[in-house]
Amino acid sequence: MLLRHTTDKVAERSALTINPAKTCQPVGAMYAALGINKCLPHSHGSQGCCAYHRSSLTRHFKDPIMATTSSFTEGASVFGGQANILEAITNIFALYDPEIIAVHTTCLSETIGDDLNQIIKKAYQEGKIPKGKKVFYASTPSFKGSHVTGYSNMTTGMVQYFSENTGKPLKQINLIPSFIEPSDMAEIKRMTSEMGVKFVMFPDTSGVVNSPMDGKFHMYPKGGTTIEQIKSAGDSSFTLALGRVGAMSAAKLLDTKCKVPCEILDLPIGVRGTDNFLDNLRKVAGVHVPDSLMMERGQLVDVMTDMSQYTYNKTAALVGDPDILVSTAEFLVDLGIKILYVVSGTPAGPKFERRIKEIAGEDVKVKTGANADMFYFHQLIKGNKPDLIFGNTYAKYIARDEDIPLIRIGFPIYDRVGHQYMPIMGYKGGLRLLEKILSAVMDRQDRDAPEERYELVM
């Protein structure tokens, strides 16, 4: 109801965020950590932070998300959290027996200035970390960045701590995805296998946060990249980073630390995004694109062509995570959809704006960072209503208020299922995304059609 008081008059704000179009860094760090096999994410902060991060991921994936916390109280806030985390490490290995603990910081521990490097070293020296087990950390202060930044920081931490160039090159490619669904990670792996390319993907949350129900509780589901695999990434011949904001930093570090060259690509959404991914894979691995993938491409193009009258000249407004927005925008342009607005709470920088304008034209309004919030997005929509909104669950209030269909993409999606299991990436995923778009357009057409134009066949 309150949203109805939103006006279309945009007032410039520099120090106020209203309904952020992002969530906090540790959420992304926790998600990335779950992409390591038998890893327990650990939140170095108060219980409330950890509860929020876990519940965000649990509500999105509809799976229990395991994580531990340093449980800060007043004492830790004043004297620092060293004692808390040292005790936590002992308890975690004794009670939950993970192979590895991935620590991320929070606003509070960052403000106190806890030196996690020194603390973890001390834990090793004092024998608190059992032989063969590991603890590492990523700095994720949530007073800047977003969940995508936190994901990127944790992924970069994996390279920093584990990847090694042993001097024995391996015939394998590294794939580093941005913050995407486990279903999309699985689809990228499937396509790479179809190409006959040996690879290491990290992080890989498929089979962890969308694991099957078999009647038993598994503290550590089977999925996730092993530490050995992350280590071996330093001996790979090439790295493809999929998504500039979420994956570039880890790929660049692999280049400087282990001399593994890299290419930064957009996520493989739609025809062009997937073409570009497969083409790069083909070139760096020296393989051919098999007929099976060409068939999937042809089917997607077929539906795009058959249904173009429903998508052509429609208008759209997009809000969410930058890497997903770039590739979705490109797919929408290929469908003849005009992009009006692109808003992301993640500070994605001028490169993001340039890329969006390259894809969607100079007229598109782009804004990122803390002030690029849901309130601002709503104001833009009030000024010129699009036919479709693309965004996460929080966009549903604007969609309802303005009576515009919402196609759910990105994170978080709390009010629908399917995203965990069915991809929107690759040609097959493109078909699913296209089906979602067409269903939204046709449902609206059916709802609004006068009786004499209510068609059986569309």
Which one of residues 106, 149, 163, 172 is an interface residue with ligand SF4 (CB under 6 A)?
106
String of DSSP letters for 248-277: HHHHHHHHHHH---EEEE---BHHHHHHHH
**Interactions with ligand SF4, residue window 20-39 (CB under 6 A):** 24, 26
How far CA 456 is from CA of 405, 437, 446, 453, in Å, comes to 21, 19, 10, 9
Cβ neighbours, 10 Å, residue 40: 23
Nearer to ligand SF4, 104 or 297 (CB): 104
* Binding flag, residue 262, ligand SF4 (CB under 6 A): no
Nearer to ligand SF4, 55 or 117 (CB): 55
Which one of residues 30, 107, 120, 317 is an interface residue with ligand SF4 (CB under 6 A)?
107
The site string for ligand SF4 over 297-336 (x = CB under 6 A, - otherwise) reads ----------------------------------------
Nearer to ligand SF4, 144 or 351 (CB): 144
Closest separation in Å from C-beta 412 to ligand SF4: 14
Percent helix, percent strand, percent coil in the chain, to nearest 5: 50, 15, 40
Rounded to whole angstroms, how far apart are CA atoms 298 and 428? Answer: 10
Nearer to ligand SF4, 45 or 81 (CB): 45
The site string for ligand SF4 over 39-78 (x = CB under 6 A, - otherwise) reads ------x---x--x--------------------------
Handedness of CA 398, 399, 400, 401 (dihedral sign): positive
Task: Give the angle 434-399-19 at the CA atoms, nearest 5°.
Answer: 115
* Binding flag, residue 245, ligand SF4 (CB under 6 A): no
Closest separation in Å from C-beta 45 to ligand SF4: 6
Burial of 77 (0-12, 13-18, 19+ CB in 10 A): middle
Q: Which residues pair with 240 in a beta bridge?
A: 175, 263
Cβ neighbours, 10 Å, residue 299: 14
Which residue, chain included where needed, has tokens 């299922």?
A: 417
Closest separation in Å from C-beta 17 to ligand SF4: 12
**Interactions with ligand SF4, residue window 379-418 (CB under 6 A):** none
Rounded to whole angstroms, how far apart are CA atoms 192 and 180? Answer: 17
Nearer to ligand SF4, 142 or 229 (CB): 142
Tokens of 171: 């015939």
Closest separation in Å from C-beta 71 to ligand SF4: 13
Instruction: Compute how many residues bind ligand SF4; rule: CB under 6 A.
Output: 8
Nearer to ligand SF4, 107 or 335 (CB): 107
Tokens of 13: 């704000």
Which one of residues 69, 70, 139, 142 is an interface residue with ligand SF4 (CB under 6 A)?
142
Q: Which residues in this chain contact ligand SF4 in the complex, by CB under 6 A?
A: 24, 26, 45, 49, 52, 106-107, 142
